[in-house]
Structure 1
Amino acid sequence: MKCSNSLVGLLNFITFLLSIPILGGGIWLAHKATTDCEKYLEKPVIALGVFLLVVSLAGFIGACCRVNWLLWVYLVVMFILIVILFCFTIFAFVVTNKGAGEVVSNRGYKEYKLGDYSNWLQKRVDNSKNWNRIRSCLIDGKVCQKLAQERNIGATDFFAKHLSPIESGCCKPPEDCQFAYESPTSWNKNGNVTSNNPDCGAWNNNSTTLCYDCTSCKAGFLQNLKSDWKRVAVINIVFLVFLIIVYSIGCCAFRNNRWDSADPWKPYR
């Protein structure tokens, strides 16, 4: 068989094998998921598994069995995927361009303001339906549990700690509330709050409330999302280069198929 056909067949066979555990994981989540986060993931995982399964079969059969229309469908899907990934990569860099933590005097951590981030991201987390789902995931993920277990840590040591954006925004009240420190996730409002920050009223020492309803928590989540999206965008660039190479090889295989179909008496080598 021609080299390009063999390469496309091999790559799609590997993709087919990878799609099986992905699809299996989605089906497992559909039957075993207990938290809202897990239930939210089941449909995208199943859809990804089915997509990879169908596309890899189309590419494998089209290249190895010289089925032109299947290989043509495969190349069209690959082209659309390349365009979508390219657009998403540009979009990810644009919407995550704004936003950064603010250094707090004599503190080892930063604080985050929702207004510092792009309007598109702000609208996503300000949507009550979206935030209730994110809030549920944060609680299920026990993002504040590590801090809650450090009950014996003193105020000086706590203020010197490096906190993640989500820990800083969701697990403690903002600095301008001037609450009295008791433990990392327990603060005394002491009735002397003069700040106009609505987060001061949203804070509660209950482990399922804390500052999960604060704008600072939304900002901390966006800072974490921003870092993740930037990493994903960089990975996408590498993946795009790989997809373009595979697409080019697929085009060669399609040309070979047409060449063989045009003259069936030519030797297939």
Structure 2
Amino acid sequence: MVRLSNNLVGLLNFLTFVLSIPILVGGIWLSRQSNSECERFLEKPIIVLGVFLMVVSLAGLIGACCRVSWLLWGYLLVMFLLILLLTVFTIFAFAVTNKGAGKVVSGRGYKEYRLGDYSNWLQKRVSNTKNWNKIKSCLSDSKVCSSFADKYVSDTVEQFYAEHLSALQSGCCKPPSDCNFTYVKPTEWNANATGVQNTNSDCNTWNNDQTVLCFNCESCKAGLLDNIKSNWKKVAIVNVIFLVFLIVVYSIGCCAFRNNRKDNAYWNRS
């Protein structure tokens, strides 16, 4: 008789198998539609995730329902490694996102960002020229600054300073406040010819060219890291919930594996 633990493992893996189908189809569709570096970057992980879920869920489904012990053993091994991997990643995600936050600027509704405030590991990732060139391509494709310019184009300087900008808008689409540039419009600022040398290197990096702006600024990299920090923390919280689910499924799977061995031993004696 197929026992309760086998039925539960079979049901859970059937649901996972059904879930893997739209994930895999979505990845294949994205690979056919991709026109940018960002889309091409996303398609491969989605396809790999879809195939992985499909193969693992099939192994668990067949192993539990058909009482194939070696398949169920392989399934449990993969589950154990996945639990271990997610645990390590979750701890790592909390560790590298522990530092860094936007700074409140007097008289501004938005915050500003400094690259040095974030973890060294994250800083190294965005400071790598090859990595940053790909990221800039993604930022350009997403039109983060062109949509920003259209949204606030009619603002006066007082209205603009009161806006609540996102980290990317603040870091990439305008110069830092300590440059003391004169506001013309959201993505156009004039340098004041005061002869005072500003210590912030982003002031020299800023360019009114709409394809350049502050995409090469340290503040833009910091704005991106603030986004990553926020997103990784959300992912880490989801991972904790998913880990609890995996541990429960793994425990049920161990019971099903034990049942299979008992049943096989019974039939061998018979």
Q: TM-score, normalised by structure 2?
A: 0.96
1:194 is displaced (CA, Å) by: 2.5
Aligned partners of 2:180 and 2:214: how far apart in 1? Answer: 14
Superposed, 1:137-216 pairs within 5 Å as: 137-149=138-150, 150-192=152-194, 194-216=197-219
CA contact (8 A) 1:177 1:194 kept: no
Residues 104-119 of structure 1 aligned to structure 2 (within 5 Å): 104-119=105-120
CA RMSD across the alignment:
1.4
Shift of 1:207: 2.1
Give the superposition deviation at 1:204.
1.4
Superposition deviation, residue 145 in structure 1:
2.7
Identity over aligned pairs, percent: 65
Deviation at 1:56, TM superposition (A): 0.5
Give the length in aligned residue pairs: 267
- Consecutive unaligned residues in structure 1, runs of 5 or more: none
Q: What's the CA shift for 1:205?
A: 1.7
How big is the shift at 1:155? Answer: 0.3
Q: What TM-score comes out, normalization by structure 1 length?
A: 0.96
Q: Aligned residue for 1:46?
A: 47
Q: Within 2, Cα distance between the matches of 1:221 and 1:22?
A: 27
> C-alpha displacement at 1:2, in angstroms?
0.9
SS in 2 for 1:263: helix
Q: Give CA-to-partner distance per residue, 1:197-238, whole Å, 9 cap, x none.
A: 221121112222111110000000001110111111111111
Query: 1:1-269 alignment to 2 at 5 Å?
Result: 1-149=2-150, 150-192=152-194, 194-264=197-267
Q: Which moved more, 1:191-200 or 1:132-141?
A: 191-200
Match of 2:144, SS? coil
Contact 1:63 1:71 in 2 (8 A): yes
Instruction: State the distance in 2 between where 1:190 and 1:31 align.
Output: 49
SS class of match (1:182): strand
Which secondary structure state, in structure 2, belongs to the residue aligned with residue 85 of structure 1? helix
Q: Which digits, 9 at most, give the CA deviation of each residue in 1:24-56, with x for residues without a partner?
A: 111112221011100011111111111011101
Q: Are the equivalent residues in 1 in contact too, given 2:180–2:192 (CA < 8 A)? A: no
| Displacement after TM superposition at 1:191 (Å) | 3.4
Q: Any idea what the Cα deviations from partners look like across 1:83-102, whole Å, max 9, x if unmatched?
A: 11011111011101110111
State how far apart, in whole Å, the 2-side matches of 1:224 and 1:47 are.
25
Q: Specify the code of the residue in structure 1 equivalent to 2:234.
A: R
Contact 1:135/1:212 (8 A) holds in 2: yes
| Mapped contact 2:37–2:137 kept (Cα < 8 A) | yes
**Post-superposition offset of 1:265:** 7.9
Q: Which runs of 5 or more residues in structure 2 are unaligned?
A: none
